[in-house]
Copies of this chain bind each other. A is one copy, B any other.
Amino acid sequence: MEQFKVVLADHEIPRQWYNIQADLPTPLKPPLHPGTGQPVGPDDLSPIFPMNLIEQEVSQERYIDIPDAVLEKYLLWRPTPLYRARNFEKLLNAPVQIYFKNEGVSPPGSHKPNTAVPQAYYNKVFGIKRIATETGAGQWGSALSMACKLFGLECRVFMVRVSYDQKPYRRLMMNTWGAECIPSPSTLTEAGRQILAEHPDSPGSLGIAISEAVEDAVTHENSRYSLGSVLNHVLMHQTVIGLEAKKQMEAIGVYPDVVIGCAGGGSNFAGIALPFVRDKIYGKQISIIAAEPTSCPTMTRGPFAYDFGDLAKKTPLLAMYTLGHDFVPAPIHAGGLRYHGMAPIVSHLVKEKLIEARAYDQVETFEVGVNWARTECFIPAPETNHAIAAVADVANQAREEGKEKVILFDWSGHGLIDLASYDAYLSGKLSAYELPDEEIARALRAINGFPKP
């Protein structure tokens, strides 16, 4: 009988996260204070994040121990299975082996709890009592709600109003895990009240929600803010995915030629990729691909520049690929990929040509996602479909070139709460969308005058 998956026992879970900062051939560009243009220091960030996470953000240690209390929570769903997609391979009819990590087995159904749990833990041990955050489609808000409940922290999530109204299921998940989910803009913050005064019917945006969450955190006692992607420590927590995958592939004696992940803020991609980027830095022949949407082509078409992480210009300036902090992505269904910037670590790796980025249109990603669902059965999240599109792309190339390839990718989450997007695709309501060149010109204007990295 053929083998379809590799499972690890609880005791085989990785005990450390991998911090790629220790291995980068050239150092990351530091975040800058927008007022002074100087690198931000720990004290600048301490009202927003607990100091133990700030230390992780700048750590140069190669491996950082996963605390026992975090491991114990990880074991609620980790190690996740490594699957071989034999049925999808047959459909593609290409000389490829396709392996994927199924991160959809977590309680909220995505990779997000891999960082939500340690973030809640580090806040807890630092003496913090409550966390505020923002969420778009709700994947991050639901993961953090769950993590806060596990460590007895209060949690308030500002959810973009249009998503709050249109996607009630993830909000209900947050409530079930005991968190407060507030449609943003809200009357609970000065930022929200200002927006509502001018636009009482504002549908909200991620930028507004970030402003509300940060304000909420700094104006409440024993509170901090939490971010679900982009930052160095967030990406590091996600490396548990790639570290497990390596163990699992070693167990069956294979090593990937190609590693793929979809990338919005960058944490899912980094989770599967960074342990393999290390191998590449030390000489391995391996191709590592980040898949993004053509409607939000940050890495494939944006400039590498210093820019704000949010619309409201509340964050430090980050050195990253960006479409400009004022960019409003088209309302594609892969809500997790609608971010104007890209994690500084992922951006740095693209710049250094250690990884490459490819963009796929929403329509082709759903086409391949439906083919996936009809062979491998698990219905992918719309974000995940971008990674599967890259897998099919690589497989088609392998067929044309007659070259055998072993592909590994991160199946970042299931789409059971995103089925309305499949309905839109199956009923022919989706159309292709290529970002107009004018938008790239606008991006260049948005960063005009900022320091150059």
Contacts and interface: CB of A to CB of B under 8 A. Distances in A.
B75 A379 contact: no
Contacts of A422: 172, 175-176
A417 interface: yes
A25 B370 CA distance: 49
Interface stretch (A6-14, A26-34, A93-101, A341-349): A6-14
Contacts of A87: 76
Nearest to A68: B1
Contacts of A77: 377-378
12 contacts: A1-B71, A1-B75, A7-B9, A76-B378, A77-B377, A77-B378, A150-B377, A168-B420, A169-B416, A172-B422, A176-B379, A177-B374
A248 to B, nearest CB: 12
B173 A379 contact: yes
Interface string A418-436: 0110110010000000000
Sorted nearest first, the 7 A-B pairs with minimum C-beta distance are A107-B377, A172-B419, A4-B75, A7-B7, A107-B378, A176-B422, A169-B419
A445 to B, nearest CB: 41
A173 B370 CA distance: 11
A3 interface: yes
Interface in A365-382: 370, 373-374, 376-379
Given A169-B419, A419-B169, A426 B175 contact: yes
B176 A1 contact: no
A201 interface: no
Nearest to A374: B149
Given A7-B8, A169-B417, A176-B379, 9 more contacts: A1-B71, A2-B72, A76-B376, A77-B378, A168-B419, A172-B419, A173-B419, A175-B426, A417-B417
A109 interface: yes
A329 interface: no
Given A3-B10, A4-B76, A76-B4, A416 B173 contact: yes
A47 interface: no
Given A176-B370, A178-B374, A72 B416 contact: no
A62 interface: no
A282 B376 CA distance: 41
A169, A173, A377 — most chain B CB neighbours (10 Å): A377
A422 to B, nearest CB: 5
A11, A68, A72, A176 — most chain B CB neighbours (10 Å): A176
Contacts of A24: none
Given A175-B423, A370-B176, A107 B3 contact: no
A87, A109, A379 — most chain B CB neighbours (10 Å): A379
A202 B374 CA distance: 33
A176 B373 contact: yes
Please state the number of chain copies in the assembly.
2
Interface string A19-58: 0000000000000000000000000000000000000000
A423 B2 CA distance: 43
Given A107-B377, A150-B377, A177-B374, A1 B72 contact: yes
Contacts of A1: 10-11, 68, 71-72, 75
A105 interface: yes
Nearest to A419: B172
A274 B68 CA distance: 38
A10, A107, A416 — most chain B CB neighbours (10 Å): A416
A5 interface: yes
A146 interface: yes
A77 B104 CA distance: 12
Contact of A5 (B10, B169, B379): B10
Contacts of A419: 168-169, 172-173, 176
A68 B7 CA distance: 21
Interface in A391-433: 416-417, 419-420, 422-423, 426
B379 A107 contact: yes
A115 to B, nearest CB: 15
Contact of A416 (B7, B8, B177, B416): B416
Contacts of A10: 1, 3-5
Nearest to A172: B419
Contacts of A168: 419-420, 423
